[in-house]
Structure 1
Amino acid sequence: MADDKTRPDSRDRKRLSPDDEYEMDYFALTNNITPAQLHELIRKHGNNRATLTKAAKLLPAQ
């Protein structure tokens, strides 16, 4: 099924959704951190993807 380009997605892709478990797990996996570390980063820095990626790079790899 092809994407319907006339119906834009209302989600903000610059922000990580803490309510979406799949999105959280994928972000943690691709940034070599645990989901618990990701939750802590969101608590400290908010849910902006760029900010979280920078902060995740400063953490030790799991």
Structure 2
Amino acid sequence: MQDVGSDRCRLTLGSWSWPSLAATIARYDTEIEVVGPAELVHAFDHLARRFAKTAAGPTPRGTS
């Protein structure tokens, strides 16, 4: 972790997959700004859609 301002830091991590890295970062209880790469942005988008579907509640059986 690198301090880059009074209210910002840079986090440098590695992972075996972009979705796994996004999930790891999402565990922090803070706002996140992804500056790259595009694959990580897409992984966050995928997780956001999954979380939104989960937050909407269960779907009736037999539908998806």
**Whose relative contact order is higher, 1 or 2, with alpha carbons under 8 Å and at least 6 apart?**
1
Q: TM-score range by the shorter chain?
A: under 0.3
Considering only CA atoms, is the larger Rg found in Structure 1 or Structure 2?
2
**TM-score normalized by structure 2?**
0.27
More strand by share: 2
| Bigger helix fraction | 1
